[in-house]
Structure 1
Amino acid sequence: MILDLFGTLVAAPSIVERRAAADQLAAILRVSPAVAESELADSWQARHNGQLASTAEVAAHLVTRCNASAVCVNELEMLLARLAHLRLQADSTLLQALEQLRRGGARLAVLSDASSDIAEAWSLSDLAPHFDAVVFSCRAGAVKPDRQLFQAVLREVGVAPCQALYCGDGGGDELAGAERAGMRAVRVERRGGPSSLVFGETAWSGRAIPDLEALPSLLDDWGKR
């Protein structure tokens, strides 16, 4: 079972949260929040496809783009790490659902468009122990729906495409991408609500569930047929 991260396991960020993060970045960089937010948005691709391969590189990039002092890099890197840790906080009900899936014999993997700060924070999160494999776009060098991401996570978890179920909120055309890679796909309503930020969402007419906590029941229903 292959699960998306943001909007599926943890809440996708809201516009308010994105702006609050930009305010903190701006305070360190000594630029306006609008400039910090713009540079953060403009660096999305480079942060998520691995061009900026570490949190330190992301911090240095933002410092350069904002014409800030190089002495800001370490402080900015620490802020990015703290924000990443906060973004990986998971609901207790979600953790219980993951444990239930594992007790039922499911092998679990994460496939996420994620930047290096998230990848570096992952091992210390409450989510990490529940998964057999994880593939982050910043480590794989591509973003969804690139087929190589789906192939990479299938290799990591050790199953054929026809044996895998992909579950996500639909950002990055991930559901259709999973189906093109030979998997079944299920959509979950976006964790964090419909106003949360999402990139590359496409229409979906297939199976859908209200949240990941409903997944064990869905699998039980399938098993009874």
Structure 2
Amino acid sequence: MPKAILFDLFETLITEFSDHQRISKRSYDYMALLGISNKEFKQEWGSRQHKRMTGYYPNYHAVLSDILTVQNLPIDHAVIDGLYQERITEKNLPFRQIRADILELLAALKAMKIKIGLISNCTEEEVRYWGKSELAAVFDDVIFSYEVGFAKPDKEIYLLSCEKLGAAPEEVWFVGDGGSSELEGAADAGLRPYHAFWFNTYIQSGFRKLAQPLELLKIIAEQNGDPL
């Protein structure tokens, strides 16, 4: 039985999608708002992914200001603040509809005295609602990448979580949907990865897949010689 289990957040414990569409139904005309085409904005936003996740930019405003500066476009702080507030609202939505079986899994792990940790590649506005969600009280430790300065699949973020939970990497399992090569990163750090395959099913991996969250309990029971 593992001493601790680490979970990814988005598309593992919560999802931003329903029927392959974003639940926020977001749609922005960046040309009208910022003077940059939607395609160019997507490229500029994506190219700053790692720096956004690791806290290089102090906030959302700094990211957009940098994009506009590079594009030689004027910076309208009121427009940026409006987009920021909308993004906070959008990122709060997944926290309000957490699956019952995920909560059941976490409660069962807690009852088994298994430490529960979270590692999320995220920015400040994406996890504003974390502390008010049903998930927060269950976790023994939480690591948000923007706060610690490194992100999955960097080995250091897994090792930091293990250290904070008082467990050696070989005593720890990691459960995630596979984005950002997080499963490979977990394996490289010495953890045992499991592929969460209940929300996001387009990422493939060679790691054991879990079609449903509660399958994890079956694996633990089997390892204890007590199949469910």
The TM-score bracket by the shorter chain reads: 0.7 to 0.9
1:49-73 Cα distance to aligned partner (Å, 9 max, x none): 2112334434544565673412223
Q: Which runs of 5+ in 2 are unaligned?
A: none
Distance in 1 of aligned mates of 2:146 and 2:195: 23
> What is the number of equivalent residue pairs in this alignment?
218
Secondary structure of the residue that 1:165 maps to in structure 2?
strand
- Residue in 2 that maps onto 1:203: 205
Q: Distance in 1 between matches of 2:69 and 2:31?
A: 13
Aligned equivalent of 1:74: 81
- Flag the structure with higher helix content: 1
Q: Equivalent of 1:9, from 10, 13, 23?
A: 13
2:142 match: secondary structure:
strand
Partner SS, residue 147 of structure 2? helix
In structure 2, what is the equivalent of residue 38 of structure 1?
43
Q: Which runs of 5+ in 1 are unaligned?
A: 195-200
8 Å contact kept, 1:144–1:172: yes
The superposition leaves residues 65-115 of structure 1 with CA deviations (integer Å, 9 ceiling, x where unpaired) of 673412223212211211221243422221122112111211100112112
The Cα RMSD (Å) is: 2.9
Question: What residue in structure 2 maps to residue 154 of structure 1?
Answer: 162
Alignment correspondent of 1:21: 26
SS in 1 for 2:10: coil
What letter is aligned with 1:54?
Answer: N
User: Which of 89, 94, 105 is the matching residue for 2:102?
Assistant: 94
- Counterpart contact for 1:112–1:135, Cα < 8 Å: yes
**TM-score scaled by length of structure 2:** 0.80
Contact 2:105 2:214 in 1 (8 A): yes
% identical equivalent positions: 22
Name the residue aligned to 1:48. 53
The aligned counterpart of 2:111 is 103
Q: Displacement, 1:150?
A: 0.8
Distance in structure 1 (CA, Å) of the matches to 2:29 and 2:138: 32
| TM-score calculated relative to the size of structure 1 | 0.81
Q: Deviations over 1:6-39 (max 9, x none)?
A: 2211226588539943527666546543344333
Provide the secondary structure at the position in 2 that maps to 1:110: strand
Structure 1 residues 163 and 25, CA, compared in 2 at 3 Å: closer, same or farther? farther
1:192 Cα offset (Å) = 3.8
Whether the 8 Å contact between 1:28 and 1:75 is mirrored in structure 2 is: no
Please give the alpha-carbon distance, in whole angstroms, between the structure 2 residues aligned to 1:224 and 1:25.
Answer: 57
CA distance in 1, matches of 2:80, 2:53: 19
